[in-house]
Amino acid sequence: MKDKMVIFIVGTSYSGSTLLDMMLSNDSKGYSLGEVNFIFNPTRSHHYSEIKKNQKEKMWDKIIDSGEKNLYYNLFSQNQHIDFYVDSSKNLLWIKRQNDYLRKQGINFKNIIIYKS
């Protein structure tokens, strides 16, 4: 999976992180996951409804059951036409853990920090 990549976007409120996510994932070889960390670490009621909705889809049910450690490996394995995923989770602990997992799995990643002063 040396030719695959995950792009993490970290940003403050109203910094343009969502717009950047949309621009990057507009490529036919890319896919936006939004704030995917909430699938594994829900904090609001709408996160739980999103999890239930995703569990009804075969692909996401398997990915959720496999856990966050194998998230991107499983996504790339099931969607070989995708070259990169964009993750706008913004949670620094999530991104640090995912960077460590990806490094061990041989998957490239980039961290983009965007802020507005």
Helices 71-78 and 92-105 meet at what angle, rounded to 10?
60
Task: Work out whether the CA dihedral 98, 104, 108, 111 comes out positive or negative.
Answer: positive
Pick the closest to residue 96 from 10, 14, 33 (CA basis).
10
Per-residue pLDDT of the chain (117 residues; tens, 9 = 90+): 789 999 999 988 888 888 999 999 999 999 999 888 988 887 777 666 776 666 666 777 788 888 999 999 999 999 999 999 999 998 899 999 999 999 999 999 999 999 887
Q: 31 to each of 4, 50, 64, 81, 117, how far by Cα in Å?
A: 12, 18, 18, 10, 29
CA distance 39 to 48: 8
Q: What is the pTM (predicted TM-score) of this model?
A: 0.88
